[in-house]
Amino acid sequence: MRDAAVRSTDAAAFPVGNRTPWPLPVLLCGWLLGTALQLQQAALWPPWAYGVLAGLALPALARLRRAGRRAVVWAWIAGALLAFGSVGLRSATFDAGALPAALEGVDLRVTGVVAAMPQRRDGGDVRLRLAVESAEPVTEPVGRALALPPLLDLSWYATQHGREPRSVPDVHAGERWRLNVRLKAPHGERNPHGFDYELWMWEQGVQAGGYVRTSARLDERLGAPRLLGQTWRYPVEQARQAVRDAIVRHLASGGSDSDSARDRAAGVVAALVTGDQRAIERSDWQLFRVTGVAHLVSISGLHITMFAWLAALLVGWLWRRSAALCLAYPAPSAALVGGVLLAAAYALFSGWGVPAERTLLMLATVALLRLSGRRWPWPQVWLLACAVVVAFDPWALLQAGFWLSFVAVGILFATDSGAADAVGMGVGGRFAALLREQTRITVALAPLTLVLFGQISVVGLVANLLAIPWVTVLVTPLAMLGVLWAPLWQAAAWCVQALTWWLSWLASWPFAQLALAQAPLWAGVAAVVGGIVLVLRLPWQVRALALALVLPALWWQPPRPAPGQFDLLAVDVGQGQAVLVRTATHSLLYDAGPRFGEASDAGQQVLVPLLQSLGERLDTLVLSHGDSDHIGGAAAVIAQQPQADVFGSIPTGHPLQAQHAVRACVAGQAWQWDGVHLSVLHPGEASPAGEPVLLRGSASNARTCVLRIATDQGVAVLLAGDIERAQEQALVRAGAPLAADVLVVPHHGSKTSSSDEFLAAVQPALALVQSGYRNRFGHPAAPVVQRYRDRGITLVASPVCGAASWSSQDGQLRCERERSRRYWHHRVVGDGAEGDEGQ
């Protein structure tokens, strides 16, 4: 009867006599389409233009009642116009508050409140988010007020670039500080299939980052950082930090090797309770990814969904214990409300991350529909949940976590047998249902995971069958209840240690993880559809046909250069160097980028994911010399590519020598791959010990391995590493074959390199500078930039280009920033060739 009443209400809104289709699903599809189209914009329009588009949606909405069968068309148009206009207007409004370029690299005195739980890194550095209250220039005697973005991401360094480290004071959420800072616009590395840091900052609502300016000399001149007091603001963040610190103190070991596992478990417990994912050790993250359980130790969409499900079961069970409560309000409805509310409370305390927020919107939408008594088909429920999430967070469409959560929840909808069926189940029945649901989700998400990340855990299903109930039923409740009674944290840590032992055993299996090249869009979409069809309640013949949809993504191999040709990819690694060279059947990586900190480097964060996404199996890794901005990521690359032959100018006692033998790089070494000639031009003869003889100049830079790659037609590239003027002139005097079409600029454009004689010998048409945005060295130096310009050489720097790809076949340069530009990406003022010397 109730369903009949609902249908009568819908029929009254859209008369059956006119055969008017129900326009809501089409309107929602139009909304999603309009949002997706707006996210493809490379630059924003004026705000009034978006207002006009949104306004045009109103006449289209008005025509729905009298449009008859054409209501579907008008619903598409209205939804798309309204979404495109509203999202564009929202973006333009936010973009208007961006950091002015004139304030980048300027000393500013900022007063603000710590708005989030600070993160302390290895080495003592602290990262904090500051809500700005006031700002003024440091250099003016009477400061004038400056308009800054409302939120800043700041780093407070303990290390001072070779100076004596200074400990960073304890910083707590809710504290008001006055700090001297230097700011810059959010600017991340842009590489094929790489992480979009600028989109992440945009979604976080942060429009500037920077660092605290403090040292003994600076504090005397500018004033020391000053704590102004504690405020009442951000109470949840204050509570989160207090709980996190209490967990660390309670589970801290004495520092012995035998207690290292306890320390690692403490990080997982802290992450489950407070959402502090940085507390988890790097090695543990790798273990969780290999075994496919990373979603359980981060506050992900699937994690919130499972927590809400278990909370609903608990609330429903408790509610049914009271006849009075059941008479006052139905137990199934109470279970729905309680599950969503408890999941919301958990998500709030664990940091209210974007994935948790998206998932709660999905769950709340579904709960409201069920409470209203409407029994919509699951595709319409799914579509409504998606549209609601996208309305709150349009940029979710570009996030991998959204699609993983969305598909997982969709599978739960499509295969849900109804809440009523669960009422009569015993514990064993509910556990069997959990196993069935997890199997379906794992199978359905496998192709999507492969498309999004280029890798999939083969042991993930086995790992999750134990890990999901273990973490959601045992570890997480113990960790959360530890807030009330601290000894339970120790019990949670023991459970984490047992889980880690189980996962380590699974990770030791052969082929525990499968890594494949990133498939194109058409193959990825087909694979995702195939994975979903496999788990739906359809005839087995239809499911078998779905396997054919998955195969193209599994067999895909990116195109390679033709025999006799090669291509080059100057990877965007910030202030460092890494160049990938590919021939028809071989690959070489020249340098491995910088080390970013104690626990992160370009190898782990950039190169390993890039090589996996391209399906590259390295034949050779060349380490030009021992500077950390060139070999900082080498250990991670070697661990992922153990078959690669490694040679370079690395001292015998270097730690890398213990991981993998490194042959000496000596002038005269030459080989041929697929008709492409590779030759080493520098350094000179090797000593009897096997190390290159040092020339004049910096000891490390002077023995840089210089590599030239050329085709039979004479098209060539010169990789010069960090050689300086003395080595450049030595190569010129020796008559080395330096002529090249492309030159990777020596020493990132330092004043010590790119001499006139060297450039005259190379005569490149294109010069690539690999440097970081507003780096502290001022690379590339202004005189060097002018030297290239005077010779008519096209100079391209990685801050403005991102990853630069070039092919010997067509000689065309392709910049990743231009190829994939969107309006939230930072646009560098000028041509990106100017550094920020002295920063």
Q: Which amino acid is at 114?
A: V
Residue 311: pLDDT over 70: yes
pLDDT, the chain, mean:
86
Residue range 607-625, pLDDT digits in tens: 999 999 999 999 999 999 9
User: How far from 735 is each of 694, 728, 758, CA to CA, in Å?
Assistant: 19, 11, 11
Give the per-residue pLDDT at 162. Answer: 52
| DSSP β-ladder status, 209-212 and 455-457 | unpaired
Mean pLDDT of 203-218: 91
Q: Helix, strand, coil shares of the chain as percentages rounded to 5?
A: 50, 15, 35
CA distance 411 to 444: 8
Measured distance CA(389)–CA(103) in Å, rounded:
35
Other CB atoms within 10 A of residue 377 CB: 10
DSSP 100: P
Residue 55 confidence (pLDDT): 92
- Helices 235-251/331-349 angle, 10° precision: 80
Query: Amino acid identity, residue 206?
Result: V
- In angstroms, the CA 482 to CA 491 distance is 9
The three-state secondary structure class of 814 is strand
* DSSP 8-state code for residue 661: -
Q: Tens digit of pLDDT for each residue in 693-749? A: 433 335 788 999 999 999 999 999 999 999 999 999 999 999 999 999 999 999 999
Nearest to 750 by CA among 794, 697, 679: 697
51-74: b (≥16 Cβ within 10 Å) or e: eebbeebeebbebbeebeeebbeb
- Give the range among 215-229, 427-441, 767-781 with minimum mean pLDDT: 427-441
Nearest to 558 by CA among 638, 612, 621, 604: 612
Model confidence pLDDT, tens digit, residues 253-290: 654 444 577 788 888 999 888 888 888 888 888 899 89
CA separation for the pair 600, 231 (Å, rounded):
34
Does position 358 have pLDDT exceeding 60, yes or no?
A: yes
pLDDT of residue 693: 40
* Burial of residue 677 (number of CB atoms within 10 Å: 0-12, 13-18, 19+): middle
Give the C-alpha distances (Å, rounded to integers) separating 200 from 206, 358, 572: 9, 15, 18
d(CA 265, CA 288): 13
Strand 455-457 and strand 587-590: the pairing is: unpaired
**Nearest one of 651, 694, 686, 647 to 666, comparing CA atoms:** 686
Check residues 218 and 45 and name the one with the higher pLDDT: 45
- The residue among 354 and 208 whose pLDDT is bigger is 208
Read off the pLDDT band of 8 (50, 70, 90): very low
SS3 sequence, 285-338? HHHHHHHCCHHHHCCCHHHHHHHHHHHHHHHHHHHCCCHHHHHHCCHHHHHHHH
CA–CA distance, 623 with 609 (Å, rounded to integer): 19
Rounded CA separation 589/638 (Å): 11
CB 483 within 8 A of CB 243: yes
Q: How far apart are CA 146 and CA 98, in angstroms?
A: 13
pLDDT at residue number 837: 41
Using alpha carbons, select from 75, 192, 56, 174 the residue that is nearest to residue 801. 192
CB atoms within 10 A of CB 289: 16
Average pLDDT rounded to a whole number, residues 396-417: 78
End-to-end, the C-alpha distance of the chain in Å comes to: 73
Note the pLDDT tens digit of each residue in 469-486: 888 788 988 998 999 999
Alpha helices for 39-183 (secondary structure H): 47-62, 71-95
Residues 443, 534: contact at Cβ < 8 Å?
yes
- Confidence label for 460 from pLDDT (cuts 50, 70 and 90): confident
Q: Residue 396 and residue 379: Cα distance in Å, rounded?
A: 20
